[in-house]
Amino acid sequence: MGKRLNRDEMQQFFESLQESYDIYGPKLYQGTGCFSDTDVVRYGQLESWEELVWDRKSDYSFKEALFPISETILYFTENEMKTADGPARPRMIFLKSCDFHALKRLDEMYLRNGAEDFYYRRMRENTVFAVMGCKESGESCFCVSMGTNRCEGYDIYAFQDENGCYVDVKSGELESLLPECGQSTEEEPVFVEKNQVQVEIPESLPENIQEDSMWQEYSGRCIGCGRCNFVCPTCTCFTMQDIFYKDNPKAGERRRVWASCQVDGYSDIAGGHSFRQSQGDRMRFKVLHKVSDYKKRFGYHMCVGCGRCENVCPEYISYIACLQKLKEKEGK
């Protein structure tokens, strides 16, 4: 059973949570969009409940609150190495249902795809998740097609409307922080049930889909900027950088930094060879990972249908149109 809180009561709950957690969620950053005089919604630490953006899909996903774009993982000197400390305080992340499903994909990649990732595990165990109810489908969302519009297993569910906020706290520890005020209610969580965009993912693809001419179009159009990877909540690749300090070049730190399979140099290997040199090959690699190859390994699709890659491409390359073309290849 949940509770109905008005805005002041919700702020009171938020402040109680702040005593135990650093709270992250989608925030509006005015004037920092890609074009002049445009805003961007991305993840940042929240100082008040009012900062949380409800009516617009975040341009970037929650994953930068879980693992930073650039993270120092160890410090070294000539003879010694020290693992970098994790964040001092636990985190709470507010996110929508599609992103909560993306968390399952991140867990799969970092925790169950070979050796566990120590840094991800550390952060994951120190983080709780609050799902934000979603009434209206955002631009280019196709979560219903991907089955990610509803979710369970969160620590808190919250939904804000003109009558205040409905909150359902699932974790006993967090329940004790709920204010005494507010009214108990039998409301059900609100999730999007219909998107304007419907996508059909092919069940099977022709054996020669790797060589299909459909990928050539992207060699002419894609500029390899990697933005589609950076906004995607399910992309998990990173690269390593060793930084040597100027005042002592024998000491430094190792950082891991997000990487993109669309960018030059991603697939360079020792000896000078490079795989997937054309943008068409890179697009094929990315798209088939999202809706075919990952499923072969884990039994469900990697893509959660958030539509962010569709919105962010500076060349107006449509991932959704690409999936439609792929569907037309089914059974051929």
Q: Give the number of other Cβ atoms within 10 Å of residue 96's Cβ.
A: 29
Judged by CB under 6 A, does residue 143 bind ligand SF4?
no
- Closest C-alpha to 261, from 239, 291, 240: 239
DSSP-assigned letter for residue 75: E
Q: Which residue has the tokens 């699932």?
A: 170
Given 167, 177, 261, 304, the residue binding ligand SF4 (CB under 6 A): 304
Pairing state of beta strands 252-258 and 238-244? antiparallel
Judged by CB under 6 A, does residue 233 bind ligand SF4?
yes
Identify whether the C-beta of residue 24 lies closer than 8 Å to the C-beta of residue 43. yes
Nearer to ligand SF4, 7 or 297 (CB): 297
Nearer to ligand SF4, 164 or 224 (CB): 224
Q: How many residues bind ligand SF4 (CB under 6 A)?
A: 26
CA atoms of 167 and 154, how far apart (whole Å): 12
Judged by CB under 6 A, does residue 290 bind ligand SF4?
yes
Smallest separation (angstroms) from ligand SF4 to the CB of 263: 7
Alpha helices in the chain (DSSP H): 7-20, 63-66, 97-111, 118-125, 143-146, 172-175, 216-221, 227-231, 279-288, 294-298, 308-312, 319-328
Identify whether the C-beta of residue 21 lies closer than 8 Å to the C-beta of residue 92. yes
Judged by CB under 6 A, does residue 308 bind ligand SF4?
yes
Nearer to ligand SF4, 127 or 229 (CB): 229
Judged by CB under 6 A, does residue 224 bind ligand SF4?
yes
Q: Which stretch binds ligand SF4 (CB under 6 A): 34-42, 119-127, 207-215, 312-320?
A: 312-320
CA atoms of 192 and 102, how far apart (whole Å): 16
Q: Quick one: how far is CA 52 from the chain centroid?
A: 17
Smallest separation (angstroms) from ligand SF4 to the CB of 148: 9
Nearer to ligand SF4, 182 or 307 (CB): 307
Smallest separation (angstroms) from ligand SF4 to the CB of 15: 33
Integer CA distances (angstroms), 224 to 56, 263, 278, in order = 27, 5, 9
Identify whether the C-beta of residue 149 lies closer than 8 Å to the C-beta of residue 135. no
Given 28, 214, 225, 288, the residue binding ligand SF4 (CB under 6 A): 225
Nearer to ligand SF4, 51 or 315 (CB): 315
Nearer to ligand SF4, 206 or 220 (CB): 220
Smallest separation (angstroms) from ligand SF4 to the CB of 315: 4
Range 261-280, binding ligand SF4 (CB under 6 A) = 262
Q: Which stretch binds ligand SF4 (CB under 6 A): 82-90, 150-158, 190-198, 226-234?
A: 226-234
Smallest separation (angstroms) from ligand SF4 to the CB of 305: 5
Judged by CB under 6 A, does residue 227 bind ligand SF4?
yes
Contacts of 271 (CB under 8 A, 6+ apart): none
Given 222, 322, 323, 326, the residue binding ligand SF4 (CB under 6 A): 222
**100-138: burial string, b at 16+ Cβ within 10 Å, e else:** bbbbbbbebbbeeeeeebebbeebbeebbbbbbbbeebb
Judged by CB under 6 A, does residue 41 bind ligand SF4?
no
Interface residues with ligand SF4 (CB under 6 A)? 222-228, 231-234, 262, 290, 303-309, 312-315, 317, 319
